[in-house]
């Protein structure tokens, strides 16, 4: 059974919807700036969504008296756009589910609860702690959109949203669902900022994926969702087909990728085999490309190995959005769909110097109208949890 993409939605530091993201890519405007969401001693660039929780709630027409984590609010915004874009008719009988991913969950609220609770057990709002669980954001998104069927949460670090999309496709292909809203959402919080700082992989300047001078990543926040539908459930022309997917685990290290890119290579290879696509048929790669010394060297080695006959155009969009962790695979899946539908090549911002030994040179200029029929999207997480998705152009009509 084939699976098609019929709706897309996203929010990040460079836009509140798909249209704003496209305008940011065209103009070369990234979302990086100082940290304003919470007090911190770290002076590091991050990519924050340019709206506070109150403004997000107002945009969603939510009551100011209700408590939502920032992760939930960002997820609702992107999921609402994707759902509206797909426009599945009410009463159509389509069995629709939600597969949502996150890493931080409701940590932003827990961080507000704990200091008061630590002073005295009677202090602090328990409603904040109740929103901590990763699955809470999934339930909030489902309730907001009226999805009462199958719902589940995926949390596999930076491959989370890509795994959510893969799992949703499997549910459709196995006849469990007719359609699924799938992707991920993550908000910036102290825990992730301090955690990545302790690993010493945050760059004090704008990140430079795949560049020889790269010194680390910039954190970001956001959400990205797709609506996937079976062929039989199509009610509008789809954007494209989700033709292949694969997840592997190289189990090399808790946080580092294997130096030879074994996991990344196996993930991409298995994904192409699932889709029945040969390496030379891939027209563009949306790379994981975090900007850390380890990740980019590992992914470069894997790309060079798989595409030995000629590396296709590739780039990382994280110099625009920052690394949005559990949401990254969802955002970049949206960008991959846009690349197919508009023949777009996104620039690998801030790149100047190829890094040996792979010496790969990514796309450095925004382009429209390119001949693109297949796009490979990579999302590689801590613990070696590596996932690749293959999107393919289609002329399928409902």
As given in the structure block, the two tokens for residue 288 are 């994981």
Query: Does a structural domain hold residue 11?
Result: yes
pLDDT of residue 120: 67
With contact defined as beta carbons under 8 Å apart, do 246 and 387 qualify?
yes
With 80 as the cut, is the pLDDT of residue 91 above it? no
CA distance 270 to 277: 10
Active-site residue 158, yes or no? Answer: yes
> Looking at residue 109, what is its pLDDT?
77
pLDDT of residue 251: 82
Question: Does residue 163 lie in a domain region?
Answer: yes
Kindly state whether residue 53 falls inside one of the protein's structural domains: yes
Catalytic position from the list 158, 189, 207, 271? 158
In sequence order, what E strands does 270-309 have?
A: 284-286
Are 163 and 378 a contacting pair, CB within 8 Å?
no
Mean pLDDT of 8-25: 98
| Annotated catalytic residue, options 10, 189, 207, 323 | 323
Q: What is the pLDDT of residue 395?
A: 83
Q: Assess contact for 354 and 213: CB atoms under 8 A.
A: no
Catalytic residue selected from 10, 207, 240, 288: 288
The answer to whether residue 397 sits within a structural domain is: no
Query: Residue 256: which pLDDT band, with cuts at 50, 70 and 90?
Result: confident
User: In CATH, what number is assigned to the domain containing residue 250?
Assistant: 3.40.47.10
Its domain, for residue 138, covers 3-392
Active site residue 288: yes
**Per-residue confidence band for 149, with pLDDT thresholds at 50, 70 and 90:** very high
Radius of gyration of the chain measured on its C-alpha atoms:
20
- pLDDT for 52: 95
Question: Is residue 358 within 8 Å of residue 301, measured between CB atoms?
Answer: yes
For residues 241 and 396, the answer to whether their CB atoms sit within 8 Å is: yes
Rounded mean pLDDT, 92-111: 89
**Mean pLDDT of the 101-122 span:** 77
* Nearest-angstrom CA–CA distance, 201 and 189: 17
- Residue at 205 is within a domain: yes
CB of 375 within 8 A of CB of 343?
Answer: no
For the residues 283-302, what does the mean pLDDT come to?
96
Number of domains forming the structure of the chain: 1
What's the whole-number mean pLDDT along residues 196-222? 96
Domain assignment present for residue 398? The answer is no
Question: Among the listed ranges 18-22, 53-57, 85-89, 130-134, which one has the minimum average pLDDT value?
Answer: 130-134
State yes or no: is 42 an active-site residue.
Answer: no
CA angle 130-135-138, nearest 5°? 110
Domain assignment present for 36: yes
> What's the pLDDT score for residue 90?
78
Per-residue pLDDT at 383 exceeds 90 = no
In a domain, 179, yes or no: yes
Whether 113 has a pLDDT exceeding 80, the answer reads no
To the nearest whole number, what is the mean pLDDT of the chain?
Answer: 93
Query: Poorest-confidence range of 29-43, 65-79, 82-96, 338-352?
Result: 82-96
**Range with the lowest mean pLDDT among 64-68, 150-154, 250-254, 326-330?**
250-254
């Amino acid at each position: 059974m084939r699976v098609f993409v019929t709706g897309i939605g996203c929010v990040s530091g460079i836009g509140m919807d798909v249209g704003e993201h496209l305008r940011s890519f065209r103009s070369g405007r990234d979302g990086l700036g100082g940290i304003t969401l919470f007090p911190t001693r770290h002076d590091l660039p991050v990519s924050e969504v340019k709206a506070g929780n109150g403004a997000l709630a107002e945009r969603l027409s939510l009551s100011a008296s209700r408590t939502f984590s920032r992760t939930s609010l960002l997820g609702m915004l992107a999921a609402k756009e994707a759902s509206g874009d797909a426009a599945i008719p009410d009463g159509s009988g389509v069995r629709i589910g939600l597969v949502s991913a996150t890493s931080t969950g409701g940590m932003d609220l827990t961080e507000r609860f704990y200091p008061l609770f630590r002073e005295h057990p009677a202090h602090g709002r328990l409603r904040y702690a109740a929103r901590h669980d990763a699955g809470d954001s999934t339930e909030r998104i489902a309730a907001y959109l009226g999805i009462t069927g199958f719902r589940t949460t995926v949390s596999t670090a930076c491959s989370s949203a890509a795994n959510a999309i893969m799992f949703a496709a499997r549910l459709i292909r196995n006849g469990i669902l007719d359609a699924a809203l799938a992707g991920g959402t993550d908000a910036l919080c102290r825990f992730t900022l301090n955690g990545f700082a302790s690993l010493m992989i945050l760059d004090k300047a704008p990140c430079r994926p795949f560049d020889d001078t790269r010194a680390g990543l910039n954190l970001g926040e956001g959400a990205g969702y797709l609506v996937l539908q079976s062929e039989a459930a199509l009610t509008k022309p789809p954007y494209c087909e989700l033709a292949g997917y694969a997840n592997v685990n190289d189990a090399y290290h808790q946080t580092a990728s294997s130096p030879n890119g074994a996991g990344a290579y196996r993930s991409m290879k298995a994904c192409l085999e699932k889709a029945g696509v040969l390496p030379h048929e891939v027209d563009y790669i949306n790379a994981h490309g975090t900007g850390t010394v380890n990740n980019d060297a590992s992914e470069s080695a894997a790309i060079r190995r798989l595409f030995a006959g000629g590396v296709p155009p590739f780039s990382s969009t994280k110099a625009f959005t920052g690394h949005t962790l559990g949401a990254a695979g969802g955002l970049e899946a949206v960008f991959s769909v846009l690349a197919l539908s508009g023949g777009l090549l996104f620039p690998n911002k801030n790149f100047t110097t190829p890094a040996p030994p792979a010496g790969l040179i990514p796309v450095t200029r925004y382009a429209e109208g390119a001949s693109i029929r297949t796009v490979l999207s990579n999302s590689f997480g801590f613990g070696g949890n590596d996932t690749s998705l293959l999107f393919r152009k289609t002329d399928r009509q409902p």
